[in-house]
Amino acid sequence: MEDDDEIVPDADNFVVASLPEDHKFYTLVGRVASEWSQLEHICDMTIWELCNINSLYAACITSQIMGVGPRCKVILNLLRVWGFDAETVKRYRRLMADSYEWADQRARIIHDPWYLEAGENKPAQFRAMPCADQRFGFCEVKEDEILGLLKRIKDLQITAHNLLVELRDSLSASPETPDPESI
Pairing of strands 123-128, 114-117: antiparallel
pLDDT in tens, 71-101: 999 999 999 999 999 999 999 999 999 999 8
Residue 182 forms part of a structural domain: no
pLDDT in tens, 93-110: 999 999 998 999 999 999
**Helix, strand, or coil (residue 9):** coil
Tell me how far apart the alpha carbons of residues 86 and 104 are, in angstroms, rounded to a whole number: 28
Tell me how far apart the alpha carbons of residues 138 and 40 are, in angstroms, rounded to a whole number: 30
Q: Residue range 113-140: average pLDDT?
A: 77
Residue 176 forms part of a structural domain: no
Lowest mean pLDDT among 18-22, 81-85, 99-103, 128-132: 128-132
Residue 177 forms part of a structural domain: no
Residue 11 forms part of a structural domain: no
Residue 29 forms part of a structural domain: yes
Other C-beta atoms within 10 Å of 181: how many? Answer: 6
Residue 152 forms part of a structural domain: yes
Q: Do 116 and 124 touch, CB atoms closer than 8 A? A: yes
Tell me how far apart the alpha carbons of residues 164 and 48 are, in angstroms, rounded to a whole number: 11
Q: How many domains does the chain have?
A: 1
| Residue-wise burial string across 25-40, b where 16 or more C-beta atoms lie within 10 A, e elsewhere | beebbebbeebbebbb
Interaxial angle between packed helices 68-82 and 24-51, expressed in degrees from 0 to 180 and rounded to the nearest 10:
20
Residue 32 forms part of a structural domain: yes
139 has which bridge partners?
125
Average pLDDT, the chain: 86
154 Cα distance to chain centroid: 10
**Helix, strand, or coil (residue 21):** coil
Phi/psi of residue 117, nearest 5 degrees: -70, 135
Tell whether the model's pLDDT for residue 136 goes beyond 90. Answer: no
Total-model pTM: 0.84
Q: Residue range 116-139: average pLDDT?
A: 75
Q: Do 52 and 174 touch, CB atoms closer than 8 A? A: no
Quote the domain boundaries for residue 57. Answer: 17-169
Residue 178 forms part of a structural domain: no
